[in-house]
Amino acid sequence: MCKIIEGIICLLPLTVNEYRDVGRFYDVAEAHTILSRNHLLHKKYDISEECISGYKTFSSEGRKEMLRILQSKISSCESLMGIYTCSPYIFTIGVCNHALFLVDTHSVNEDLGGNGNALFMVTPDTSYQSCKLVVQWLLLRLISAGVKEDSIQSMCWLACQG
């Protein structure tokens, strides 16, 4: 999985940037449309939006909502991928081999487990504790990056059709 993620980080932007305005942020649905329209996806995906309550990312309600979303979605799947957004940051979160994973393609400091490059985190399982670990890490990451107190979050799940 590490090699796949490294390839995506290094090669995908070169391909995708031909079709988008690099000075603009896109939501998941817009990015999906760009990728589909330009035949850059190998499969068709359904997108389901979560975190639609409007709770702020750093609020108690926002943390609880994200934890609930992770727990409810991963309990029903062996393999799953989602896109977590808190502008201007985007993270990939998913389930593979009965463990949660998180990919941060931005520069991650040592105090958050990084080495100045991208970070690939894998939890031991999909338990409540693992979900909590991912949510806590996300919040620490966003705080350390200076994300504003009143920011909102979004979680979109991608389900492969057929």
Do residues 65 and 53 make contact, with C-beta atoms less than 8 angstroms apart? yes
In a domain, 6, yes or no: no
How many helices (H) does the chain have, and how many strands (E)?
A: 4, 6
Do residues 70 and 91 make contact, with C-beta atoms less than 8 angstroms apart? no
Calculate the alpha carbon distances from 79 to 9, 95, 143, 146 in Å.
Answer: 21, 5, 29, 32
**Which strands, in side-by-side order, build the sheet including 89-96?**
45-50, 154-160, 80-86, 89-96, 99-104, 119-122
Query: Can you give the pLDDT at residue 162?
Result: 61
Tens-place pLDDT, residues 103-127? 998 889 889 988 888 889 999 999 9
In a domain, 28, yes or no: no
pTM higher than 0.85: no
Count of domains in the chain?
1
Could you list the residue range(s) of the whole structural domain that residue 56 is in?
A: 44-160
In a domain, 39, yes or no: no
Tens-place pLDDT, residues 71-103? 988 876 777 889 999 988 999 999 988 899 999
* pLDDT at residue 150 greater than cutoff 90: yes
In a domain, 98, yes or no: yes
In a domain, 7, yes or no: no
Query: Can you give the pLDDT at residue 47?
Result: 83
Residue 85's identity, in one-letter code, is T
Q: What CA–CA distance (Å, rounded) separates 13 from 82?
A: 19
Mean pLDDT over residues 45-59, rounded?
Answer: 85
